[in-house]
Structure 1
Amino acid sequence: MKLKITFILALFFIGFTSAQTKVGTVNSELIIGKMPQMKGVLQRVENYGKQLDSSFQVKATEYKEKVNSFKAEEKLMTDDDKKARIQELRTLEQEMGKFRQNGTAMMQLQKEQNMRPLYKKLSEVIAEVAKANGYTQILTTTGNEFGYIDERFDITQLVLDKLGIKE
């Protein structure tokens, strides 16, 4: 008899705890891509990239001029002058390589800084929708792998509606 009561209590407890949990999913990348502010972010990042490109072009032009100057004057130079000019060209090449690497990192940083307000707003709206609909957890569908997702609990459309974004 004790075993039956324990079993019934265990079933009741399991049913009670699972009834309190409501898990939903959201496709945050889809929503971010559809937010009207995204166009402005992409434009600012593109403009920043153009600034970096123009700075790089100045360095590239300077490098080409020095290479052409070296080629034109190479026959008239002493060995010490050649070594010094070759070292100068190598230094410029290294600087250009560092500039490229830094430029890539700066572009990524610029994009992240511009995207931060969008993700903050999305996070706030997801929290509002989740609370209003009684969800205890919301998982993002992008970047994660799920064996099964019940589409009834996907709040992507609710978040899009709350943001006023039409498909």
Structure 2
Amino acid sequence: MMNKIKTLVVAFLLISFASFAQTSDKPLKIGYTNVEYILLQMPESKRIESELKTHSTQLESQLKNKYSEYETKLQAYEKSAATMDKVVRDDKEKELMNLNNSIQEFQRSAQASLQQKEKSLVDPVIAKIDQAIKDVAKENGYTYVISNQALLAGPEDGDISPLVLKKLGVDPTKVTAEPAATKPAAQTPAKTTTTPAKKSSKKKN
């Protein structure tokens, strides 16, 4: 799940504060943080993961039902195709084709549904983090705050992550995870099951 979330925080990985422009009496002060790391430490993170898992499980269950129906009807068709009347055989083949198309369409819809669900859960939290970063920057005189993923070197005291976590109500002294720590794999309903078998039987006139 968190791997996908990375794509949702891209817009927040480089945050500048134009309103804090450098003046002659105010030296340039640059801080850095990691939005993904902060997100992983927030209590909302577990709730998001849980809701996405539930949603994904529901989609997978529906997809498995569709596969099961397809396989059952395909086996019945292959068993009796040779003795079927042409009209009946054509009708069965059309039904199988429609079921196959339905499965493929459901796979696409399920993926889109999961992505939309994830976005609806993550966006409000990202906005909350963004505001906290801006507040911390303003309160502590930072001219710019950048992503530590874009940072090649910098002083340890330039990391404002603990201040941002504190601003969000998360005790930084209890945070032990690293920025790239445990990231549960995303659930992808459409790709966890094998594509329906193609009909091997040919029409017989």
Q: What is the TM-score of this pair, normalised by structure 2?
A: 0.66
Q: Which residue of 1 is the match for residue 42 of structure 2?
A: 35
CA shift, 1:17, in A, is 5.0
CA shift, 1:70, in A, is 0.9
CA shift, 1:61, in A, is 2.1
Partner-residue secondary structure (3-state), 1:30? helix
Q: Which residue of 2 is the match for residue 81 of structure 1?
A: 88
Quick check: 2:41–2:170 contact (8 Å CA) kept in 1?
Answer: no
Q: Which residue of 1 is the match for residue 141 of structure 2?
A: 134
Partner-residue secondary structure (3-state), 1:108? helix
Q: What is the TM-score of this pair, normalised by structure 1?
A: 0.79
Q: Whose radius of gyration is greater, 1 or 2?
A: 1
Q: Is 1:148 paired with 2:153?
A: yes
Partner-residue secondary structure (3-state), 2:141? coil
Higher helix proportion: 1
Quick check: 2:31–2:146 contact (8 Å CA) kept in 1?
Answer: yes
Segments of 5+ residues of structure 1 without an aligned counterpart are 1-14
Count of equivalent residues: 151
Partner-residue secondary structure (3-state), 1:135? coil
Q: Which residue of 2 is the match for residue 8 of structure 1?
A: none
Identity of counterpart residues, as a percentage?
26
Matches within 5 A, 1:58-73: 58-73=65-80
Quick one: which amino acid aligns to residue 102 of structure 1?
S
**Aligned match for 2:116, one of 109, 113, 116:** 109
Quick check: 1:28–1:141 contact (8 Å CA) kept in 2?
Answer: no
RMSD: 2.2
Residues in 1 aligned to 2:166 and 2:73: alpha-carbon distance in whole angstroms: 59
Q: Is 1:164 paired with 2:170?
A: yes
Q: 1:16 to 1:124 in 2, by over 3 A?
A: closer
Residues in 1 aligned to 2:103 and 2:148: alpha-carbon distance in whole angstroms: 40
Q: After the TM superposition, which parts of structure 1 deviate over 6 Å for at least 4 consecutive aligned residues?
A: none
CA shift, 1:89, in A, is 1.3
